[in-house]
Amino acid sequence: MARRFQNYIDGKWVDSRSGRTFENRNPANWDEVIGTFPLSNKEDVEAAVKAARKAYESWRLVPAPKRGDFMRNVGDILTARKEEIAKQMTREMGKVLLETRGDVQEGIDTAYYASSEGRRLFGHTVPSELPSKFNMAIRVPIGVAAIITPWNFPMAIPTWKIFPALLCGNSVVFKPASDTPATATTLIEILLEAGIPPGVVNLVHGGGTEVGIGLVEHPDVDLVSFTGSTVVGKRISEIASKTLKRVSLELGGKNAQIVMDDANLDLALEGVLWGAFGTTGQRCTATSRLIVHEKVYDKFLAMVVQHAQKLRLGDGLKRDVDVGPCVNEKQRQTVDEYVKIGAQEGAKILTGGKLAKGDGLSKGWFYEPTVLGDVTPNMRVAREEIFGPVLSVVKVGSLEEAIAVCNNTAYGLSSSIYTQDINNAYRAIRDIKAGITYINSPTIGAEAHMPFGGVKETGNGHREGGWTVYDFFTEWKTVYVDYSGKLQRAQIDNVEK
């Protein structure tokens, strides 16, 4: 019998006040029910925010190094349970075990990084323009953070947000994706095991309209960190602006790998196969476009097609599988619709382009790894995010044209160029409009201690990961200490008359 899961609010595991539930199923085998989860409503949101607000008042007073100790405990527990969590995640969202292990490892790395930041929430001291006066700026927590996360990295992305939020002294209400609620529950269980006090972290399962938007609208939520689609991100931004909430948006991508005529083609091949078909293409940083110099276009495209045809689909728990399923039927349908749109626009389906069939695939949402040739820069498949195992290939005649095609999209998250010319590499770094640029590696592979995020409609300027995320989860407070024993009126008194 499938497990029955609950929300976690104010230190207790509780059912939704709505009395409703939803099922979570294995996308590789839709007959397998992972569990049933609360389909929460705004009453649940209200209770969670109230608990977080109350807990914040004591949590913010815990010294930051001590909060870092809790994060170190979390890292230790994640390390001990890595394989168990990875297998649970593969059952829940489909990507292969090799990748879910990496997903958990990102959480581990983020936990240990956060633990060290407890002793490094640096401020600034600067000289005062007046005598016997001391000036400093310090970081202070903000309040209640709403954390809203997607399904494709169900451990890594929540840790990118929750760990810095807690380390900085904020309390949290966490709304995970409905496709991956079990991994979210495991994360909360680990935080509690690590010693996080009741109410500091709260978990509310459910849909985006009632729970997600309910959090954004709530007057006692001070900041919102969201990863998901650009359409939803714009709506969140609009709603949050009414109460001037601080909002971090990590949204879509249409990432390109450029292959120049001097590139190491074998290396570029490994990169594009991993970038395009890893996580079944369901990454915001996935290599959705391949931009190839005309001198090597035919040769390299043949290499890509040949090797894409050899990728093995199946249950991600099996060792010989390269590509898992789409996360659900709707996502697979979206992918198939885009492939049909590409063909109608004149792109050639060189391999794939169909719902995958065969042994072990009939009960899951599998789609064949697909390569589209003869794609032109203004086709929809070259400009819009597909979020599936589909690679659109564009031919160009120069570096300048390659960069122009790369920039020809509303998004600007990740980018990549393969070249052995250092001048080309640095021109690409300078001219590509993206938050991330890789040289001689694919568009995926972010590291936990580096900033992560994009430009244009990929986000609103904030960054996750590294030292930069701590700026989002803290306020700067300026402090003046005057020990002169007299009134000093700054610009009035510091200029000779």
| Residues shown for the chain | 497
Q: In the annotation, is 384 catalytic? A: no
**SS3 assignment for the chain:** CCEECCEEECCEEECCCCCCEEEEEECCEEEEEEEEEECCCHHHHHHHHHHHHHHHHHHCCCCHHHHHHHHHHHHHHHHHCHHHHHHHHHHHHCCCHHHHHHHHHHHHHHHHHHHHHCCCCCCEEEECCCCCEEEEEEEECCCEEEEECCCCCCCHHHHHHHHHHHHCCCEEEEECCCCCHHHHHHHHHHHHHCCCCECCEEECCCCHHHHHHHHHHCCCCCEEEEECCHHHHHHHHHHHHCCCCEEEEECCCCEEEEECCCCCHHHHHHHHHHHHHHHHHCCCCCEEEEEEECCCHHHHHHHHHHHHCCCCECCCCCCCCCECCCCCHHHHHHHHHHHHHHHHHCCEEEECCCECCCCCCCCCCCECCEEEECCCCCCHHHCCCCCCCEEEEEEECCHHHHHHHHCCCCEECEEEEECCCHHHHHHHHHHCCCCEEEECCCCCCCCCCCCECCEECCECCCCECCCCHHHHCCEEEEEEEECCCCCCCHHHCCCCC
- Annotated active-site residue in 92, 106, 117, 284: 284
Closest by CA to 33, choosing from 8, 1, 63, 61, is 1
Amino acid at 238: E
- Annotated active-site residue in 99, 106, 250, 368: 250
Q: In the annotation, is 168 catalytic? A: no
Catalytic residues: 250, 284
